Structure 1
């Protein structure tokens, strides 16, 4: 592709991003002068691209509103983001009545991608799995697209890789890894597999993987029978060491608790006897009546506690904090802030 042709396409891409672009802005972005920008615009108009010219101090060029304009030009990262969004939307049930629209949109994007990009993205989509939780946690970062694609390729072909990983303390290590699958859980990406250096199963957060390198000459590995990637990731959370062990008593139903603390986060168990100071029914509920409200024991482990007070407030059920004391302090601090805000609002009114 010649440089002038490439710049005309770059101009088209800038106009496709929306809004009005001044001649000075376009000239700066394309690295040409204003006269050349006008000549490129004329070339687009000759191709029946509806470029509008806006006169005046704040004038410039824009595409006609509502015009459906091919071709779409995606970088590798942009194509990856669009396809992942379509897949995640379908898996989360975020579809319209025309539930095939996401599939046809993904197919159209993949058809116009360069073959090597389409192949890598297809490999990634075949390697993904999802748990039931969604939503990005506070402080999380998306994984590097190159890391994600390289691991997906290793999963697809069962090839060992060398990864550079930073743990929660910031320590960097390198290890040989046999990736079994990539899983999206609670707004983060994870890869699960076998750490060949330690000879044990491990799950790693992808946003902490800094580099992935193929091992020349390494033959394919065999994935052992047993749980799939999702089950491996969730079981890894259940056995991992965390800073805090939290025990609560909550008066409510299992369904009410699970709406805010799913099984992947917390365990819920019935108490043998109702709490003496509770307002529960004289005849306590039994496991034969799981929808009845009763006192339940909730246990979970967490690296941070700052999200739990908000979750307990959203739960809106009576609860007792058994441990740790730090959580009790955080809940009291949240209650004080809410009370102060309510009093300030009442005073102003």
Structure 2
């Protein structure tokens, strides 16, 4: 695409984002002089795009109110970015209404791509490999997702119909603080006003969401992702595990992330920094313990098991097996 034409389309993109743009602002964004901006505006007007001139101290250019913009136009780089984003999102499970919407959007964009760009994309996809295999994800309902997003933005309570992992169906009220995408699933986190506790719900288990009257103020320190991960690490499970591990925070978190365990961090002793190895207390909850001994072995740091005794027995059994394998000729 010739460079002046690309700049005219960029100008249209800037104007369609709304508001009045000064000549100085447009010139800076386009990398041209003010008189060139005026010439580009004239070209848009010649194409029947109703660009209005606004006079005064804060004057500049804007699109006429109510103007229906022409079809979306993407540069080569933008088209590739959109298509790769759709492909990556589909593999990661970050799509709604199954894969249908992502697939149809991809097909629509590919149909209108110039032949040379379509060939470049095909070449890229043929040479692209992923380290993980695509999995089947339970995607959320689009209407539920958008309703919750609107409730988060405007601080409105919502009523949701939820089915938990045991199949129990309940209707709940939630003060939603944020939506989090994690490990191929969508979650909403917030406060249950009836019990005054933080709760996290999987969006694919929400059958319906309705905005209620009223409003609420989200906590000042509300970090939806942090609250969700903390909730995962402290959820009720069959086994409660307490360890003391000698190492740095980074070494421990590489094997026991925040989604799995809580880490009691103390301020380093005088003369130490956070990169210094020291004894740290680690707590986690799990339905099963058999996965934990290999993790502790791979951590390769001194550790003490405070509870439960069953974990100590499993670690000893793993050590005995490894020792017997090493002795084999």
- Name the TM-score, length of structure 1 as normaliser: 0.47
TM-score by length of 2: 0.49
